[in-house]
Structures are given as C-alpha cells and as structure tokens.
Amino acid sequence: MQQKDSMTKIKNIFLTGAPSSGKTTVIRKVIAGLDVPANGFYTEEVRASGTRTGFLMKTLDGRSGYLAHQDIASDFHIRRYGVSIENIDTIAVPSITPAGRNIIVLDEIGKMECFSEVFKTAARAALDSPNIVVGTITFGGDSFIRSLKERPDMEVIEVTPENRDDLPGILLRKIAEIEQFRG
C-alpha cells in the first residue's frame, strides 16, 4: 500500500497486480457487498473451448460489449486482440460519469482502455469528482497511468495470493470509512 500525506483524503482506491491475480474477482465481490448506489463497469474474460478469445465490459446497469476480441478488426491491438474504441466510448465512458453520491466502479484503467482519449478524460473526471472511485489499474503502465497512481487522493493496493481473499472486506471497510467521513 502506498503511504500518502496525512492531510490528503484518500477517496480513490485501486487494485493492481499481475494478470489473473484476482483483481476483477475482488471488485465483483466489492460490488456485491456495497450497500450504497454505484455505477461503472467491470471486465470479464471471454473463453471458447478453454481458450481466452477476448474481454467483455459489463456495466452495473446491465449494458455490455466487447472491450477487445480476437475477431475485432481494429487499428488498436494488444497481442492478438483488436480493441473496440467505439465500445469503450459508448459503454465504459458513460458508465463512469459521476452521478449523485454513487460509488464509481472502474475496472480497469489499462492499456486497452487508454487507447481511447475519451476514456482517459472520463477516467480523470471520475477521479477528480467528489465520488469515491474503486477500481483496478494495470501493473506498470505509461506516463498517463503512472500519473494517476501518483495522485495524492489515490491508494493503490497490490493483489497477491496472500491478500486477495481479505481484500473485498478491506475495501468495503475503507469505502464505509470514507462515506462516514463525507457525512
């Protein structure tokens, strides 16, 4: 966990870690445990015959679409996956727009999502809002991603096999503490 200046109020809590470390599983358990309104999205792997073929974005209000898939023709690729900028801009971006005092779920800020300048602007607007933002952020990253991790209002926690089962409860307690402080 990163240490922040004691005068800074943490309100953005993000998980990082190696691929398949359990980041999204933790986020889904946090979503299930929330007792306050939330909006946003999470991602899921798509598999066919045991092989990963892509990634699906699912919003908390029931919309979904491919973030990336091996069959998507795109100017933007990560390995064999074509990235759908259109789906990022029309599904992910509206879902992370601050609404009332909702918790914003942002899974994930990663290389694929950051091909979209609209997404990067929306992610920064969510983090700048008074809303609590809970999400995942890629391990490593470019200058944009590193700048987000260095924000004084952000805590980044690495998911490991040793802590991943405890993290949903830890995050829910942190959210409750921030909510209580906000009044």
Give 147-160 pLDDT, tens digit per residue.
999 999 999 999 99
Closest by CA to 156, choosing from 169, 146, 166, is 146
pLDDT at res. 158 = 97
Token pair belonging to 146: 């590193």
Whole-angstrom Cα Rg for the chain? 16
Domain assignment present for residue 97? The answer is yes
Number of domains in the chain: 1
Domain assignment present for residue 56? The answer is no
Domain assignment present for residue 4? The answer is no
For residues 7-16, average pLDDT: 87
CA distance linking residue 43 with residue 83, whole number of Å? 13
List the strands of the sheet with 51-59, edge to edge: 77-78, 81-83, 64-69, 51-59, 38-48, 103-109, 133-137, 12-16, 154-158
Q: Is the pLDDT of residue 3 over 50?
A: no
pTM for the full model?
Answer: 0.92
Domain assignment present for residue 108? The answer is yes
pLDDT at res. 1 = 44
Domain limits for position 138: 12-42+93-182
Domain assignment present for residue 27? The answer is yes
pLDDT per residue over 67-114, tens digit each? 999 999 999 999 999 999 999 999 999 999 999 999 999 999 999 999
Q: Which residues contact 68 (CB under 8 A, 6 or more apart)?
A: 54, 55, 74, 78, 81, 82, 83, 84, 112
Domain assignment present for residue 99? The answer is yes
Q: How confident is the model at residue 20 (pLDDT cuts 50, 70, 90)?
A: confident
> Which strand (E) or helix (H) includes residue 46?
strand 38-48
Domain CATH number, residue 173: 3.40.50.300
Domain assignment present for residue 135? The answer is yes
